[in-house]
Amino acid sequence: MSLPKVVICGAGFLGSAVARAVLSASRTPRRVLLVSRNNTAKAHAEIAKSLPKDQQQRLEPPMDADITKPETLVPAMEGADVVVSLVGLMNGTVEDFERIQWRGAENVAKAAEKVHAKVIHVSAIGANCNSPVPYARTKALGEDAVLDACPSATIIRPSILFGKGDGFFARFAQLAKVLPFMPCFGGGTSKFQPVFVDDLARAIEILSRKEIETSEACDGKTIEAGGPEVFTYREIMELVLKYTNKRRPIVSVPYAVGTLQGLVLEQLPPNLFTITRAQVQQLKEDNVVNPATFQDACSFKDILANNGRKLTSVHEILPTYLPYV
């Protein structure tokens, strides 16, 4: 009898971490298939070389599939017990966000339902159907579409992720190398609750086991995921400077100025300095776990604690990679 199969839709930063977490889980040996439109083979090779041979053998040859083309998804998911949906986009037009974060998420869920696979869908804190920000609005619409297609799906909403290869702390570390000061929009009072990518990946792995107790607590539920500490935007700039050994003034930039910057920079090809008006708008909102929002859902912290893992502090991880970015 073949081992259970976990299909991961997305071969990027989080997808690679989830693949490693599933393959390294000795309690429940499973096969893993990475599915993506771009760079799947590269991600597959990077994961494989970091694994012992027995785990490499359970990492199936990668498959190219496009979440905007439903007909490519079912063949990739054949035989899957669990599908992990990591549909996401940081920059793009309103149409891009709708096509990928909303309809793409829906396509993944419908394909998973056809092969009778459990769905774990990763969204984001701040998802809101009424938000003027396309990213937040389509994240929420994607959640609704997933639950419509698969009522037993588990939705996970993380705060910003950190870890080697992240696109948040590492980006600011690169900016600290070239800018004479660190910009801080609106005084830097908005709050974040950074979560270690390996903690999130392990929680997804635990959910993918489909154990009765966890399933009863989490199926059809939404879980908000944050780390053990909350920081203001300004404090995050201080962390970046501390762990990159840089001395830079932190300068408050009015949101209006940031919006004007975004108007110009979003017209250019994405680069280190890219910021959009929508991203500036998002910075006005806190990005932290709200325990009162989903009182009937299981706790991210408890999912890990029940499996012998504590939430990981940024102070443990940032020094291991930020100085070398």
Residue 121 pLDDT exceeds 80: yes
Q: How far apart are CA 275 and CA 272, in angstroms?
A: 9
Using DSSP bridges, classify how beta strands 5-9 and 31-36 pair: parallel, antiparallel or unpaired. Answer: parallel
Are the CB atoms for 239 and 170 separated by under 8 Å?
no
pTM (two decimals): 0.94
Split at pLDDT 50, 70, 90, the class of 182 is very high
Helix (H, G, I), strand (E, B) or coil at 105: helix
**What tens digit of pLDDT does each residue of 100-115 get?**
999 999 999 999 999 9
Residues 171-199: what's their mean pLDDT? 95
pLDDT at 1: 53
Q: How far apart are CA 102 and CA 105, in angstroms?
A: 5
User: Domains of the chain (ranges plus CATH)?
Assistant: 5-161+195-226+288-309 (3.40.50.720)
pLDDT at 295: 57
Split at pLDDT 50, 70, 90, the class of 200 is very high
Rank 30-39, 174-183, 214-223 by mean pLDDT and report only the highest: 174-183
Residues 212-231: what's their mean pLDDT? 90
Kindly give, in sequence order, each residue whose CB lies less than 8 Å from that of residue 27, ignoring residues fewer than 6 positions away: 209
Q: How far apart are CA 176 and CA 231, in angstroms?
A: 19
| Nearest in space to 155 (alpha carbons), one of 143, 141, 139, 138 | 143
**What tens digit of pLDDT does each residue of 241-262 get?**
999 999 999 999 998 988 898 8
Alpha-carbon separation of residue 303 from 37, 110, 186, 198, 208 (angstroms): 31, 27, 35, 14, 12
Residues 207-223: what's their mean pLDDT? 86
| Nearest in space to 196 (alpha carbons), one of 292, 86, 300 | 300
189-212 residues labelled b (16+ CB within 10 A) or e (exposed): ebbbbbbbbbbbbbbbbbbbbeee
